[in-house]
Amino acid sequence: MNRKIQPEIKAMENIAITVPQRKIMPNGIPLNVIESGNQEVVRVDILIGAGKWSQTQLLQTLFTSRMLREGTRRFTSAEISEKLDYYGAWLELSTSMEYSYITLYSLNKYFAFTLEIVESIVKEPLFPEKELKTVVENNKQQFLINSTKVEYMAQKSFARSVFGDQHPCGRLAETADYNQVTVSCLKEFYDQYYHSGNCSIYVAGKVTEDILNLLENTFGKDSWGQSQNKVFLTPHVIDTTSQKRVFTEQPTAMQSSIKMGKVMIQRSHPDYYKMRVLMTIFGGYFGSRLMSNIREDKGYTYGISSGIASYPDAGVFMVSTEAANEYVEDIIKEIYHEMLVLQTDLVPETELSMVRNYMLGEMCRSYEGPFSLSDAWIFIQTSHLSDSYFEESLKALQSVTAEDIKALAQKYFDQEKMIEVVAGKSL
């Protein structure tokens, strides 16, 4: 090997994403197995088709999830924490618009013990009154603190402006809603959605036959919960505001939070693959147009970004930043300027090539380990995408041209439909 000669740079021609082994357990629960890695550790993700979209009362989804570990028929909340700590395991509970997630990280040698805890959490939570009051009060205090922050205020205002306050994505909790959370409303939500007929499981890592047998015997053998309950995703109407500028006053704010955006295409749309490239060029990485102009050149902010967030019935394009109050109008002006440049000028090939290589590198890093692979396939399921998504993304990245970027900017950067949300101190 001659170390004076630079190694040849080769373009990535294809992407080999390990496909899960997909099984259906005896009770009908899909089991997705990603056997990869050398460490004696596994991650189990239990997906329940129950998110904020399904709740009949604000905060119902959040507190049903958070209360799972606060006491079961077999274990108290203290015992759950002590046992997980003793076995070196980690448990995460989270929610999204459509799903609730129970995620367990466990050493293989203790998997039988940690899975027993998770089984009890999922199948037999008690929702004890005393613990609920403590959890609700702690969350309410955090909510009150967040409510004074301009970033949080702007995010709430933006969601309501885009979706309307009757849409699940725009109907957001207020302080009084915390006082309406009761054991009965959480049990009602739990009974409706937490059952074997509304569940899927992913296991990733060094998955052995013993681990698969334990999972099947624990969750996949017999029906559990009220599995006869049917689950439907009710459609809702998006009612976007007609206001161009929405301002929320925070008189003590040293900075203002700016959110700008509009309803956009979803991930299933054919244009989405190449739109990801446009979003990256515009504001999706540290060297983006917005960062180069507004941070590096003008010095208005420490950071600014843009992207498309996906929801069950829409995608939403959003630009987000925080800056000193006096820079708000200049920043909004420069955001529109960068949109116009992308609509009128072709992106230089050097910039497009750099962005393409950056995105290829991110793709490689995202799918290199068993847990990141599990994340990738969970993303496919929860986004309602096909297995070809990764391959199509790579093809779009390889084939996208400067002309494509310009055409997409002209098609989707409609400045007249952009909503400008600002939270801060008025000047």
Q: 80 pLDDT exceeds 70?
A: yes
What is the pTM (predicted TM-score) of this model? 0.91
Residue 12, pLDDT score: 66
Distances (CA, A) of 5 to 8, 10, 12, 203, 341: 9, 15, 21, 44, 40
Asked if 21-220 and 245-424 have one fold, the answer is: yes
Q: What is the pLDDT of residues 28-61, one digit of tens each?
A: 999 999 998 889 999 999 999 999 999 999 999 9
Q: 288 pLDDT exceeds 90?
A: yes
Contact status, residue 421 vs residue 260, Cβ threshold 8 Å: yes
Distance of CA 387 to the CA centre of its chain: 19
- For residue 323, count other CB atoms closer than 10 A to its CB: 23
- For residue 398, count other CB atoms closer than 10 A to its CB: 13
Q: Where are the domains of the chain?
A: 21-220, 245-424
Residue 2, pLDDT score: 80
Q: Which CATH superfamily is domain 21-220 in?
A: Metalloenzyme, LuxS/M16 peptidase-like (3.30.830.10)
Q: 227 pLDDT exceeds 90?
A: no
Q: What does the pLDDT average to over 234-246? A: 93
Residue 369, pLDDT score: 85
pLDDT band at 4 (very low <50, low <70, confident <90, very high): confident
pLDDT band at 192 (very low <50, low <70, confident <90, very high): very high
Tokens linked to 276 = 């990801």
Q: 320 pLDDT exceeds 90?
A: yes
Q: What does the pLDDT average to over 233-243? A: 91
Mean of per-residue pLDDT scores for the chain: 94
Nearest to 68 by CA among 43, 32, 104, 41: 104
Q: 304 pLDDT exceeds 80?
A: yes
Burial class (CB in 10 A: 0-12, 13-18, 19+), 290: buried
Q: 164 pLDDT exceeds 80?
A: yes
Residue 426, pLDDT score: 86
- β-strands 245-249, 419-424 pairing: parallel
Q: What does the pLDDT average to over 319-342? A: 97
Residue 11, pLDDT score: 67
pLDDT band at 7 (very low <50, low <70, confident <90, very high): confident
Q: Which CATH architecture has domain 245-424?
A: 2-Layer Sandwich (3.30)
pLDDT over 90 percentage in the chain: 87
pLDDT band at 194 (very low <50, low <70, confident <90, very high): very high
Tokens linked to 12 = 């990535």
